[in-house]
Amino acid sequence: MEDVIPQVVFYLFGLPITNTVVSTWIMMIIIIILVILIRKFKPDAGEMIVEFIENMISSVMPADANPAKYMTVLGTMAIFLILANILSIIPFLVSPTANINTTIALALIIFFSVHFYGIKEKGLVGYLRDFANPIFMLPLEIVSQLSRTLSLSIRLFGNILSTDLIVAIVFSLIPFIVPLPLAALGMLTGVLQAYIFTVLSSLYIGSAIEIEQNEKERQILKREIAEAS
Amino acid sequence: MWQLESETLIIIITTLGAIIGIVIGTIAPAIMEGIAVKKALDGIARQPDAANDLRTTLLISMALLESTAIYVLLVILVLLFANPLLNRFF
């Protein structure tokens, strides 16, 4: 069981450094090398990846939103998560997302960027007015904001940890060939969870920047009146 | 009647609770996911043009349904590997 629970490797200035942090560093090096290689030898592949992520985001955003604005957060999240979730197939490395601190940090980034983009798009007053449109929905809205952050982090952590745990248990029973299909299933789950995390984050950002239909009509009406007078 | 130490008793009870919990906690999401996939496949068979929209919605809702089973797994992992009751009483 010691394979799946994060272990302290060494102490840096009194801070405990677990093995998931070390594998995050290794993954950062892998990402940087991949980016340099793709830029140098195959720029088309990089374009294809960016377009794929942009299509994924724009499929759940409101129709008039520009997905390229949110690529900085969501694209980074998608690339990081796809690599992080399948990192445990490399021997001696664990997935960084098998530690609950990593996933909670990622979910908090999404939590703050939802409000940041909402305020940037609508202004502070407009965002607060749209936040709970009938005012008695305010407590429910606050609870849903908090619980979606919790569920976003725990879903990712639980899925990655459970597949790693299954592989570890089967490996301790039969260490030859038999864990391979389960590791493949773990890779599939990891890619799917990365997709789901990105799509849900863009759904939340999309719901924060969405302007209600009657609100839009009122703005158009106001502009027409201003032009006429 | 057997004379059990209370530590052993707590371990037995948590193990039983973990088994019952994981069984019930995986049956319900499995049934709900089956219903969701069945309805989505019906929709795709009836209207193949809508397959892309349906697939995105299906994946998101499957993830939301799946997360209930993951919560159960997480509680049971805490019970088995980091039992708070054992540290409190002994």
Q: Are A133 and A210 in contact (CB under 8 A)?
A: no
Q: Which amino acid belongs to residue A56?
A: M
Q: Are A157 and A98 in contact (CB under 8 A)?
A: yes
Contacts of A199 in chain B (CB under 8 A): 56, 59-60
Q: Are A73 and A109 in contact (CB under 8 A)?
A: yes
Contacts of A193 in chain B (CB under 8 A): 63
Note the pLDDT tens digit of each residue in B25-42.
999 999 999 999 999 999
Query: A154 and B73: CB-CB below 8 Å?
Result: no
Looking at residue A226, its pLDDT comes to: 84
ipTM for the predicted complex: 0.72
Q: Which amino acid belongs to residue A109?
A: I
Tell me: pLDDT of A182 over 60: yes
Query: B66 and A1: CB-CB below 8 Å?
Result: no
Model confidence, pTM: 0.82
The chain B residue lying nearest A159, using CA atoms, is B70
Q: Which amino acid belongs to residue B41?
A: L
Note the pLDDT tens digit of each residue in A113-154.
999 988 888 888 888 887 777 778 888 888 888 888 988 888
Query: B63 and A154: CB-CB below 8 Å?
Result: no
Confidence at B45, pLDDT banded by 50, 70, 90: very high
Question: Which residues 17-56 of B are in CB contact (within 8 Å) with A?
Answer: 52, 56
Q: What is d(CA A129, CA B62) in angstroms, rounded to the nearest whole number?
A: 32
3-state secondary structure of A90: coil
Note the pLDDT tens digit of each residue in A11-58.
778 788 888 888 899 999 999 999 999 999 988 888 898 888 888 888
Q: Are B72 and B21 in contact (CB under 8 A)?
A: yes
Q: Is A161 on the interface with B (CB under 8 A)?
A: yes
Tell me: pLDDT of A168 over 60: yes
Contacts of A165 in chain B (CB under 8 A): 77
Query: A193 and B63: CB-CB below 8 Å?
Result: yes
Tokens of A155: 């879903």
